[in-house]
Amino acid sequence: MPISKSREIYLNKIKDTDKRNQRREELEQSDLKVEKMRTRLKVYFDDLGLEQSMDALGYMCEKHSNSLRKNGELYIIHPLSMACRFQALKIPDDDLFATILLHDAIEETATLGRILSSTEVARLAEDLPVGPTVKSAVKMVTISSIYPNETKSEIAFRYYHQFIENDSIVNKIALKCKGFDRWDNNTTMTALSKRAIRKNVLETSILLLPILKEAKSKWPRESNILYLLRSSIKETNDILAFYNGIEDLNDQEELIKLMDDPSYLRGLR
């Protein structure tokens, strides 16, 4: 795979030649991992006739083709890894696979730090190469603003509670997708600043885990997968909390400060 211009820019920021060459080799291995995951999913989708997921895979890879994570890895590692986690459960859910693969496709169109409006999200969702159920689920998973002057914490609290407002297939798909999203993100969160880790740990503990617990009670047919997601997320979240000295996992006041005040704990690297 030829190295992209954005990848070269990332590598050139590493001044030490030996470290740069080592990182280049690591990224080449990372790219091989991407190809293995993509091939694994293509074979699985083809064998089971999951046409929607196959279309979503192609669209996602094209949409994120030039996107890099902060560590220089291809962004598509994240949705591919999420999909492979789900594939390991051997549940051939075409709608959930497609939602997982496309869950960040709309958000990628926003400039850094900007939250799209719900109207913009709805318009962009219409371009996705999937059916109405997946389009609705992707819209639900995409964080968006509804009211003028909403704070980030207000958006977040409303965002998480929307998942269990209705007993619909869209809500169930969207919440399971969010669970796989956080599970995968927790495994790579050590690359973030301590402040960012703190915000994500509190967000998971205060907003996501209670919603997964409530959904497990409300939706008994989904209880097995929701239990797996909740227990896996809680385990990784507790480890992150322990190694980052986060003692009060229910400090809602601090979570709001971390979301709404960019200066709060800014020096915590």
Q: Which residues contact 214 (CB under 8 A, 6 or more apart)?
A: 164
Residue 1 is predicted with a pLDDT of 46
**Residue 125 resides in a domain:** no
Q: Does 131 fall in a domain?
A: no
Identify whether 140 is part of a domain: no
pLDDT band at 22 (very low <50, low <70, confident <90, very high): confident
Whether residue 86 sits in one domain with residue 178: no
Q: What is the pTM of this model?
A: 0.91
Count the domains in the chain: 2
Residue 19 and residue 99 share a domain: yes
Q: Residue 113 has what pLDDT? A: 66
**pLDDT exceeds 90 at position 23:** no
Closest CA to 130 of 228, 55, 193: 55
Q: Measure Cα distances from 18 to 7, 28, 68, 191, 246 in Å.
A: 17, 15, 22, 21, 36
Report CA-CA distances (Å) from 100 to 20, 35, 95, 236, 257: 33, 18, 9, 20, 30
- Residue 82 included in any domain: yes
Report pLDDT digits (tens) over 36-49. Answer: 999 999 999 999 99
| Chosen domain end from 55, 82, 104 | 104
Residues near 60 by Cβ (< 8 Å), separated by ≥ 6?
Answer: 76, 79, 101, 102, 105
Residue 141: C-alpha distances to residues 125, 134, 144 (Å): 11, 10, 9
- For residues 256-269, b (16+ Cβ closer than 10 Å) or e, as one string? bebbeeeeebeeee
Query: Which H/E stretch holds residue 68?
Result: none
Specify the pLDDT at position 11. 80
- Start-to-end Cα distance in the chain: 34
The whole-number pLDDT of residue 112 equals: 65
Bridge partners (DSSP) of residue 117 are 145
**Where does a domain end: 88, 104, 120?**
104
- pLDDT band at residue 72 under the 50/70/90 scheme: confident
Q: Evaluate whether residue 122 is within a structural domain.
A: no
Q: What is the pLDDT of residues 102-147, one digit of tens each?
A: 999 998 766 666 889 999 999 999 999 999 999 999 999 999 999 8
**In a domain? residue 221:** yes
At position 69, the amino acid (one-letter code) is R
Indicate the SS3 state at residue 202: helix
Whether 52 is covered by a domain: the verdict is: yes
Q: Tell me, yes or no, whether 267 and 171 share the same domain.
A: yes
Which residues 6+ apart lie within 8 Å of 1 measured at CB? 31, 35
Contacts 24+ apart (CB under 8 A), 7-10: 7/68, 7/72, 10/68, 10/72
Listed residues 104, 120, 149: the one ending a domain = 104
Domain assignment of residue 189, given as a range? 167-269
Q: Which residue has the tokens 């047919």?
A: 221
Q: Residue range 81-110: average pLDDT? A: 93
In-domain check, residue 150: no
Question: For residue range 156-191, what is the model confidence (pLDDT) as tens digits?
Answer: 999 999 999 999 999 999 999 999 999 999 998 887
